[in-house]
């Protein structure tokens, strides 16, 4: 079993829908990261969380340390949000453990 | 400057060639990373440099040779690669103590070994 599990693996939705991507982890962590990767491209860091909730534009990330669970929400989704979203956790100094990613497709 | 710059963006090399990938950042980050990413897979850590010293080598074959000449620059020297080494190579940087800081990733070098 992977130390970081994401669900769903693939998600297709219509423009405007509310999107939720989930991440569960089984190890002790110091921080959790949500990352975005467009096809063939580099990775953009969206959020780093160690507790609570963060919001940036239409993106919201939450984390529940006790339950070892985090969610990434996208409100009013748009085709440009189509990308792979990756959850990663800091396990020890300078080591990120990555989930398998969620491939999101938003249709117009 | 809040970017990690990787060059070249694309590289095709033969199995007998020697080439280098370059990564540069000017954010004052003292930790720099090389990751390898195969298609539809998450990145895999290869090397970590902390204060210009190699701190983590994830048992990477010696045909990959990292170098950190100064705090802003990270190189990956490639020699006698195999076709299975074809992948996206990502560089990242961060503060050394990452608990309260995020990572900045470059856009990657797409490497094809023929």
Determine the residue of chain B that is closest to A34 in CA distance. Answer: B102
pLDDT at residue B100 tops 70: no
> What pLDDT shows up at residue B54?
96
Tokens standing for residue A54: 């963060």
Query: Is A42 in Cβ contact with B90 (below 8 Å)?
Result: yes
A43, A86, A94: residue with CB nearest B98: A94
Least Cα separation, residue B15 to chain A (angstroms): 23
Q: How confident is the model at residue B99 (pLDDT cuts 50, 70, 90)?
A: low
Contacts B102 to A, Cβ<8 Å: 33, 45, 48
Q: What is the pLDDT of residues B23-82, one digit of tens each?
A: 999 999 999 999 999 999 999 999 999 999 999 999 999 999 999 999 999 999 999 999
DSSP E strand stretches across chain B: 4-7, 10-13, 18-25, 31-37, 44-50, 53-57, 64-70, 73-79, 87-94, 103-105, 109-113
Q: What is the pLDDT of residues A38-61, one digit of tens each?
A: 987 889 999 999 899 999 999 999
């Amino acid at each position: 079993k992977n130390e970081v599990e994401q669900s769903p693996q693939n998600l297709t939705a219509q423009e405007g829908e509310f999107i939720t991507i989930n991440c569960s982890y089984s190890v002790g962590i110091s921080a959790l990261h949500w990352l975005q990767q467009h096809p063939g491209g580099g990775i953009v860091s969206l959020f780093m969380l160690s507790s609570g909730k963060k919001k940036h534009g239409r993106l919201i990330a939450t984390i529940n340390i006790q339950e070892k669970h985090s969610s990434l929400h996208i409100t009013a989704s748009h085709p440009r949000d189509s990308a792979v979203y990756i959850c990663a956790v800091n396990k020890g100094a300078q080591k990120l453990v990555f989930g398998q990613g969620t491939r999101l497709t938003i249709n117009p | 400057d809040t970017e990690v710059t990787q060059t070249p963006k694309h590289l095709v090399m033969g199995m007998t060639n020697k080439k280098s990938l370059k990564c540069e950042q000017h954010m004052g980050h003292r930790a720099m990373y090389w990751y390898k990413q195969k298609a539809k897979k998450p990145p895999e850590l290869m090397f970590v440099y902390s204060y210009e010293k190699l701190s983590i080598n994830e048992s990477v074959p010696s045909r990959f040779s990292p170098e950190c000449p100064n705090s802003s620059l990270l190189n990956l020297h490639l020699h006698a690669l195999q076709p299975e080494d074809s992948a996206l190579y990502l560089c990242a940087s961060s503060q050394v103590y990452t608990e309260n800081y995020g990572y900045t990733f470059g856009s990657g070098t797409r490497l094809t070994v023929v």
